[in-house]
Structure 1
Amino acid sequence: MSNDIQRFRIEIPQRDLDDLRERLDKTRWPAPLPGDDWDTGVPTAWLRDMVEYWRTEYNWRAAETELNAHNQFTTEIDGQRIHFLHVRSPEPGAMPLLLTHGWPGSVVEFLDIIGPLTDPRAHGGDPRDAFHLVIPSLPGFGFSGPVAEAGWTTSRIAAAWVELMTRLGYERFGAQGGDIGAAVSPEVGRAAPDRVIGVHVNGGTTFPQVPVPEAELATMTDREKDSVRRIEAFMNEEFGYIAIQSTRPQTLAYGLTDSPVGQLAWIMDKFREWTHPRPVTPDKIIDRDRLLTNAMLYWLDATPGTAAYVGYAQPGDWGAVPQDSGVPTGVLALAHDVAIRRYDERSNTIVRWTDADRGGHFAALEEPELLTTDIRAFFRDLR
């Protein structure tokens, strides 16, 4: 295994973009189901509008330029190609911070917080809050794809992240993430508790098995009860995609890898369910170009299957309680996300908990200022 770190630049051949355009032009659309609303999946009328924008107005080359404005690299860790952004702060006392995305996200999630976190002085903040950022693509996702072998559990990913930080010369560092990143980041603390300064997550890390016993439910606050209700609704109404991705990812991959519209619909279904407020379509909450750039990272490297395989083919039971690393942990609980402190405290040393009155599952995309403020505040006392 080589420890070499290679510079990386995104340079998508024009023929790949021409192929995408041709596929979009030739989309075979299904007939809309009765009502054509979100109850049966992504509405045909809404998706047609998104695809028309993708065909005629979206500019991949502009997105490529924005991504390439940040230093990018690849390295091989544990037999897997890992792509990452490494953005150093101009502040000499900056803290190294590892940011981990989730599914159906990518490194694109963090583009709007890179500047404020690395250079707070230029964004109206205190320069003492500056971070050096390391933002890897999860194994099997985007330019870290395809996945080379099985077994990429959150603990194995965490061990790879610790090795990555070692190669970059960072002895002490923080970790932050949401979704899969909220599962990986505490594991980074468990893998190297003597090196991780603190762990910050948006969303919960440990969840109850449902239904929750009535006696326990009676002791909960209204907000906690609402989180339990949404967990129950998720398990009853939304768990199907995990069942498919964790059991038949290869079968799913044929459709998603061959049809850009099919892939976009698969991803957008979750952006609609998990953004806040739910009745508002996701492109009214998150910029359309951001949504499409995120989808492009799945399309261009043909990684929807390996991303699904790594993202949800994880061992362990829902509600399992991992060991507490003792690393100081902060949680930002956005309004439409699920986080219940009493359960997170079973496996984490919670030193900061913020209940927000807005935002959904995609904190960095929906509420970048709120997330930036909470990350700064959490790590301020740990520097």
Structure 2
Amino acid sequence: MSATPEEIAIRPFTFEFPEAELKDLRARIEAARWPEKETVTDQSQGPQLETMKELARYWASEYDWRKVEAKLKALPHFITEIDGLDIHFVHVRSKHENALPIIVTHGWPGSIIEQLKIIEPLTNPTAHGGSASDAFHVIIPSMPGYGFSGKPTTTGWGPERIARAWGELMKRLGYTKYVAQGGDWGAIVTDLMGAQEPEGLVGIHTNMPKVIPAAIDAALIAGNPLPAGLSLSDEEKRATEQLDFVYRHVYYAYMMASRPQTLTGLVDSPVGLAAFLLDHDKASLALISRSFAGQTEGLTRDDVLDNITLFWLTNTAISAARLYAENKTSFFGINGVTLPVAVSVFPDELYQAPKSWAEQAYPNLVHYNRLSKGGHFAAWEQPELLVEEIRAGLRSLR
């Protein structure tokens, strides 16, 4: 049965969170029951008690959700049903002629909050160090189960299906030529879009490239030694070591992939939710923890709590986690993308993709650059650097 015009219509979307919900959130934070202090002096056991107590104190007594809510409400929000599910997205058109449409996808534990800082520089480049020829029309969807998008009620909404849905979304918006960008899950979805080649997609930019040779990826996932006879450069050896560390320490991913419903406590305890969302990777945890110790390089306390609070208010901890259970593809393995690809490598990413691997994985590599600072959540942490990378990396595709 084909979709009806009403189902495929693009509809304006609004949201409202009553003060009673924020009051309940603060009460739950203040009533938190705390564990004893960790038995180590570092973060090897997860977010430290001192960090979590300061987060909770600030969240309950000083943090103001209405500030970011006002920023969100100032943007044009829409919703449309794709493949039986409501998909929410922000759509900001540039005032500049010949702007290039770009669909940008967030990751976990993220949301459209991740991309708020890059919207204005991408759509209005002349006010942010660029030229009119750098302009983009920006589309930022909420992934299924995240933020304001619908929550799947059946299995099947893995990254391949999301990638196809994004192609359908861009078609509905009338864009006949566009590019895609993403990090974390957004990088995986974007890479799959590149492999699927929906009509109109002319290239992608990724800040978490999927370039690991298949034999190396398979060995690392299984925890096995690398195949005999491999000849690796120093850069490739370093990347392999980083990936081995990642696969041995992404316990949150294994939990969500195998038993997402067991995490039900995350929708009952805001402090428990915050601790779980903070502990994505070693570098990101250190960055976030510093923000609650008075250092604001990269992220502020409000940045962190804006995202966590959106998870809480939309009750999406479990629905977002199920994406891991739906995934059937490698996080970093090659998808066979032949469209033009731009790659940006941030030093605190989960691994620094070697140029040699990028050239093998992406035969049409149009841009490769290693940045001096920044980590896994580039749009959130280092928006100026990422914006410049998007501009430079995709300039040849206009």
TM-score clears 0.5: yes
- Given that 2:8 and 2:82 are in contact with CA atoms closer than 8 Å, whether structure 1 keeps it comes out as yes
Amino acid aligned to 1:258: D
1:240/1:146 Cα in 2 relative to 1: closer, same or farther (>3 Å)? same
1:187/1:346 Cα in 2 relative to 1: closer, same or farther (>3 Å)? same
Match of 1:45 among 42, 50, 62: 50
Q: Does 1:212 align with 2:223?
A: no
Cα shift readout 1:110-161 (whole Å, capped 9, x = no counterpart): 1111111000011121111000000000111111142232111211101100
Deviation at 1:22, TM superposition (A): 1.0
Aligned pairs (5 A) from 1:69-218: 69-192=74-197, 194-207=199-212, 208-209=216-217, 210=220, 211-213=225-227, 215-216=229-230, 218=231
User: Aligned partners of 1:321, 1:184: CA distance in 2, in Å?
Assistant: 13
Residue-pair matches, total: 377
Aligned residue number for residue 369 of structure 1:
384
1:131/1:191 Cα in 2 relative to 1: closer, same or farther (>3 Å)? same
Aligned residue number for residue 294 of structure 1:
307
Amino acid aligned to 2:290: T
Amino acid aligned to 1:292: L
Deviation at 1:288, TM superposition (A): 1.1
1:233/1:59 Cα in 2 relative to 1: closer, same or farther (>3 Å)? same
Deviation at 1:239, TM superposition (A): 2.2
1:319/1:168 Cα in 2 relative to 1: closer, same or farther (>3 Å)? closer
User: Aligned partners of 1:110, 1:275: CA distance in 2, in Å?
Assistant: 17
1:122/1:98 Cα in 2 relative to 1: closer, same or farther (>3 Å)? same
User: Aligned partners of 2:93, 2:289: CA distance in 1, in Å?
Assistant: 36
User: Aligned partners of 2:285, 2:83: CA distance in 1, in Å?
Assistant: 38
Q: Let me know the Cα RMSD of the aligned residues.
A: 2.0
Deviation at 1:187, TM superposition (A): 1.5
User: Aligned partners of 1:26, 1:340: CA distance in 2, in Å?
Assistant: 48
Deviation at 1:335, TM superposition (A): 0.5
Deviation at 1:279, TM superposition (A): 10
Q: What SS class does the counterpart of residue 281 from structure 1 fall into?
A: helix
- Given that 1:145 and 1:301 are in contact with CA atoms closer than 8 Å, whether structure 2 keeps it comes out as no
Cα shift readout 1:167-208 (whole Å, capped 9, x = no counterpart): 111111000000111111122223335521210000221334
User: Aligned partners of 2:171, 2:397: CA distance in 1, in Å?
Assistant: 20
Cα shift readout 1:337-359 (whole Å, capped 9, x = no counterpart): 12234444444332211111221
Amino acid aligned to 1:273: K
Q: Does 1:249 align with 2:260?
A: yes
User: Aligned partners of 2:269, 2:389: CA distance in 1, in Å?
Assistant: 39
- Given that 1:36 and 1:44 are in contact with CA atoms closer than 8 Å, whether structure 2 keeps it comes out as no
Structure 1 residues 294-303 or 201-210, which shifts more?
201-210
Aligned residue number for residue 270 of structure 2:
260
Amino acid aligned to 1:310: L
Match of 1:269 among 279, 294, 317: 279
Cα shift readout 1:275-331 (whole Å, capped 9, x = no counterpart): 39769735533111111111112111111111110145311456653233x210011
- Given that 1:107 and 1:136 are in contact with CA atoms closer than 8 Å, whether structure 2 keeps it comes out as yes
**Ranges in structure 1 where 5+ consecutive residues have no aligned partner:** none
Structure 1 residues 70-79 or 2-11, which shifts more?
2-11
1:23/1:308 Cα in 2 relative to 1: closer, same or farther (>3 Å)? same
User: Aligned partners of 1:17, 1:367: CA distance in 2, in Å?
Assistant: 29
Amino acid aligned to 1:364: A
Match of 1:232 among 241, 244, 253: 244
1:258/1:36 Cα in 2 relative to 1: closer, same or farther (>3 Å)? farther
Q: What SS class does the counterpart of residue 397 from structure 2 fall into?
A: coil
1:316/1:201 Cα in 2 relative to 1: closer, same or farther (>3 Å)? closer
Q: Does 1:321 align with 2:334?
A: yes
Match of 2:322 among 285, 306, 309: 309
User: Aligned partners of 1:199, 1:36: CA distance in 2, in Å?
Assistant: 42
User: Aligned partners of 1:277, 1:40: CA distance in 2, in Å?
Assistant: 13
Q: Does 1:379 align with 2:394?
A: yes
- Given that 1:96 and 1:133 are in contact with CA atoms closer than 8 Å, whether structure 2 keeps it comes out as yes
Amino acid aligned to 1:19: D
1:276/1:380 Cα in 2 relative to 1: closer, same or farther (>3 Å)? farther
**Ranges in structure 2 where 5+ consecutive residues have no aligned partner:** none
User: Aligned partners of 2:198, 2:168: CA distance in 1, in Å?
Assistant: 14
TM-score by length of 1: 0.93
Q: Does 1:335 align with 2:347?
A: yes
Deviation at 1:35, TM superposition (A): 3.2
Aligned residue number for residue 359 of structure 1:
374
